[in-house]
Amino acid sequence: MSRTLISPLIKSMFHYGRHKSVQPRLLSTFKKFCSYSRSNIERLDILKKVYSPLLIHKEGTQEWSKLIKSVKVWEDYFRPFEWRAQDYYFQAEYANFLKAIDGLKASSRISSVDILKRLTVDFAQHSCAIEGNTLKLAETQKVWNTLKKNFSLNDFLKNIDTPLPAPSSLFDKPENKVIELSLEVPALMKRFIQFRDESQNSGLHSLIIASRILLTFLHIHPFADGNGHVGRSIMVLYLIRNGLLPVVVQDIPREEYTSTLFLAQAEKDSIPLYALVVQNIFNILMRYQA
């Protein structure tokens, strides 16, 4: 199979969960080399299945370009922009839990704005901790206080439309280089926004929708690194816009969190992440009940 057919979208998937720690630059032992080789073979086998419809056309022809730009090859195989029976099954099974969350949100004597202010540092610290950052909560609070003291949001907004200097390259470090085909990414991001907006009519709870928004973004992000922070921020934005609190993954081992992502992306089993998010939000609301 041609190397140019290896999509960055699949690269993103296999850098999350159990594959993310296997990087070429870390291959200092033969054992690690063998582990990387096995995962790469596994990845290439899936790629052959995903992109088999392209192989009937010669690369670079009009038919080939039209098919790859349509994103139908990747989308038809993984089907990330559709709701599944398991999503509605989870909502039915957790109906009382979700109802309790809505009740706690409505009865809280502390406003959502005040809770959100208290959770800002928590979210930043735990989001970074998932990525391996060792800063403690007190240290994160100190950084946050320094930022608030020395930087004005108004100044940032005034300069938000200022053109940035032209980059010397499209990546700043090796793991952010898109080696493989990127033609699918723009069309997939349009489908992602469409999926997010149409999900309002799915009949599903906002917590379930927010979780799938995170999973879908991670699934199509073209880089091997950096998708976690952005994905969780997109998820939090959706939650806040729908009157909910940000998810702060506390006391959860990194391996457990990333395993839920891998199960959802590779096995199409989103229930473990749904359960993690629902339990997390419930615990936060219980903590802030006055």
Task: Please enumerate, by residue number, every residue annotated as part of a binding site for ATP.
Answer: 225-232
Write down the H helix ranges in 25-94. Answer: 30-50, 62-69, 72-78, 85-93
CB-based contact 80:213 (threshold 8 Å): no
Burial of 39: CB neighbours in 10 Å, binned 0-12, 13-18, 19+: middle
- Collapse the DSSP code of 263 into the 3-class scheme (helix H, G, I; strand E, B; otherwise coil) and give the result: helix
Among the listed residues 15, 19, 205, 221, the single catalytic one is 221
d(CA 192, CA 201): 15
14/239 Cα distance (integer angstroms): 27
Radius of gyration of the chain (CA): 21
Torsion of CA 65, 71, 72, 78, to 10 degrees: 140
Two tokens, residue 112: 């959502």
- Element housing 56 (H / E): none
Q: What is the SS3 assignment for 194-261?
A: HHHHHHHHCCCCHHHHHHHHHHHHHHHCCCCCCHHHHHHHHHHHHHHHCCCCCCCCCCCCHHHHHHHH
Helices 271-287 & 254-266 angle (0-180, nearest 10):
140
Structure tokens at 128: 């970074």
Q: Which residues are annotated as a binding site?
A: 225-232
221 is catalytic: yes
Catalytically active residues, by annotation: 221
